[in-house]
Structure 1
Amino acid sequence: MSNKKILVTGSNGLLGQKIIDLAPALNDIDLIASSRGENRHPITGGYQYIDLDILDHNRLREVVAEYRPDTIINTAAMTNVDACEHDPEGCRKLNVEAVEQLAALCDEFQIHLIHLSTDFIFDGEDGPYAEDDQPNPLSLYGQSKLDAEHIIQRSNCKWAILRTILVYGVVADMSRSNIVLWAKSALEKGKPLNVVNDQWRMPTLAEDLAQACLLAAMKEAEGIFHISGNDMFAIHELVEAVAAHWQLDKSLINQVSSSTLSQAAPRPKRTGFILDKARTVLGYEPKSFSEGLVLVDRQLGK
């Protein structure tokens, strides 16, 4: 039986890089990584890399037609929630229009599409959420991701949507921060942090999310899946856990309410996911947050 050919978009991002890390362990995968510009992953063997801007629809079509992947894992997105409010056109192009093009190509070439979505499609009034709970996004980012979900669901391609929450981890070039690295860095420098105490999340280790993507690809899974960590934290508790792990000064952490922050986009209050479907169908089992911090610590020490 021939290997499964998987094309990853946005491979220079945190999730994309983790998929590159994990895929070689699965001997029956031929991985094609693609992102805009040069490959930022330090390991270049064991997969192909393509310079691909998925907003260039002609180039996207060329690549799909040339490589004919069995699966496309779409990790490319504008994920900065406030940036989406400030640049609604850019948000829509990458989070909606590019997905529409991908879904059409997956239909035409009979490709399994795995698309990443977010807890921000929910309003946070009734978390943790199951896959069939009613979305009600509060921000342009959340709306763009929900619009993309609807496009995929209406398409004729074979699809899986993986929603996730507050992804953290370490990338080789450290080009992108996340809440764990941000908190650790600031506390190490002795900077006071204002951290909200009225929002709750279940943070997701990037390796766990990458594993879920590959499980969905190998099992040819279809439908919506909720993928996150197990542990629910108020955001200030999450930052305090980071401080405790690296023995940093918790007194620098100031609890504030969301209303005191001048953020462009409103955030849902309490999200979190019920993971039963992912466990049962995909065999997904996330690490605890403390286990995730141990892994981050080890990777930072390399």
Structure 2
Amino acid sequence: MIRNEYSRYNVDIQLFEVKMKTILVTGSNGLLGQKITEKVLAEGRVSLIATSKGQNRYPIKKGYEYAEMDILNPAQVKVVLERYQPDAIIHTAAMTNVDTCEAQKALAHQLNVEALQTLISLCEEKDIHLVHLSTDFVFDGLNGPYKEDDAVSPVSYYGETKVAAEELLKSSNTNWAVLRTILVYGITNDMSRSNIVLWAKSALEKAYPIKVVNDQWRMPTLAEDLAEACLLAVEKEAQGIYHISGKDYMSIADLVRKVADYWSLDKSIITEISSASLNQTAKRPVKTGFVLDKAIRDLNYQPHSFEAGLEIVAQQISLRD
């Protein structure tokens, strides 16, 4: 009698086992894409399908699937999605260079808007949860830090494409979440992707005098934190817009000085300048920054401080030396 009862409970437990979600990541060769792969391999929380244009550049090839996928090729995107049947997509692929977007508007629209429409159509058809990456550049920078429901007003074409992408999602019939982020930093395994932290560190180590703007304020985001937020959004089936960044608010000049302080580099070769003196192709918002309350409450998002983020980057660099 006891044996039969125990057997019945075993059957019940098997019936209620939770199936591990399958996620497909676009742009997996990029900094964020590689950090998502890294977290999945370390923690095993989901089954991963990594996709990018061209060959896989992540050094570890086992523990997940990789498929070549050009997001500008709708037929190829459809074939990949039908093959792997993901429960969710984390869409990281985009044109993010602000000046390049301004100079190549047609291509920026294709990559940042039209490619998303392809994914939306397939997600609607196949009931796939779509997590899309966006940016603080949807704001004009006059009233930061911003909440999720503050009015958007981009000052660059890059920002315009990201607003257009968000509007596509809002008018769609799929389940979606937008994760807006700010000034992502970190290192890839092959050190192939630069960002402001790595640029500043490299230039100061070589004793190159550098000019840095002192009239733009941001909340820099550790790539590992953003990767964690992406996975949390999938696991919690998040809906709507979330602001994801670091928790420290600083000027770009302060950021570079903090990099110099952390690695004990010479700050005297840093010259502060105004944004206007750079004559950049695209305009940048002045003060962005995010209010993180919603992400902390709904997703249990817990970002590192900037100093803690630099320590993580330093540890990873030391492992590659």
Counterparts in 2 of 1:286-301, with a 5 A limit? 286-301=303-318
What is the CA-CA distance between 1:26 and the residue it aligns to? Answer: 3.9
1:149 lines up with 2:166 in the alignment = yes
| Counterpart in the other structure of 1:127 | 144
Letter in 2 for 1:193: I
**Cα distance change on mapping 1:28 and 1:258 into 2, 3 Å:** closer
Distance between the aligned counterparts of 1:12 and 1:286, measured in 2? 23
User: Are 1:2 and 1:28, in contact at CA under 8 Å, matched by a contact in 2?
Assistant: no
SS in structure 2 opposite 1:301?
Answer: helix
- Aligned pair in 2 of structure 1 residues 280, 192: CA closer, same or farther (>3 Å)? same
Secondary structure of the corresponding residue to residue 248 of structure 1? coil
Tell me how far 1:28 sits from its aligned partner.
4.2
Q: Deviations for 1:161-191, whole angstroms, at most 9, x for unmatched residues?
A: 0000000001011221000000000111111
TM-score (norm 2): 0.93
Instruction: State the match for 1:16 in structure 2.
Output: 33
Q: Secondary structure at the match of 2:164?
A: helix
How much has 1:24 moved relative to structure 2?
A: 2.7
Letter aligned with residue 201 of structure 1: R
1:66 corresponding residue in structure 2: 83
Q: Which runs of 5+ in 1 are unaligned?
A: none
Deviations 1:73-99 (A, max 9, x none): 000000000000110011000000000
Q: Is 2:76 aligned against 1:56?
A: no
> Where do 4+ consecutive residues of structure 1 move more than 4 Å?
none
Q: Specify the code of the residue in structure 2 equivalent to 1:241.
A: K
1:184 maps to 201
Please report how far the alpha carbon of residue 25 of structure 1 lies from its aligned counterpart in structure 2 after TM superposition: 3.9
SS in 2 for 1:254: strand
* 1:135-173 alpha-carbon deviations (Å, 9 max, x no partner): 000000000011000001110000000000000001011
Partner of 1:104: 121
Q: Which residue of 1 aligns with 2:261?
A: 244
Q: Residue 217 of structure 1 corresponds to which residue in structure 2?
A: 234
In structure 2, C-alpha distance between the alignment counterparts of 1:103 and 1:25, rounded to whole Å: 30
Q: In the alignment, what sits opposite 1:166?
A: 183
Equivalent residue, structure 2, for 1:254: 271
Separation in structure 1 between the aligned mates of residue 316 and residue 217 of structure 2, nearest angstrom: 27
| CA shift for structure 1 position 193 | 0.7
Q: Which amino acid aligns with 2:132?
A: H
Indicate conservation of the 8 Å contact 1:195/1:235, yes or no: yes
- 1:191-222 superposed Cα distances (whole Å, 9 cap, x missing partner): 11110000000000000000000000011111
Task: State the one-letter code of the partner of 1:185.
Answer: S
- Matched-pair identity in %: 58
In structure 2, the gaps of 5 or more residues are: 1-17
**How many residues are aligned here?**
302
Give the AA of the match of 2:235: M
RMSD of equivalent CA atoms: 0.7
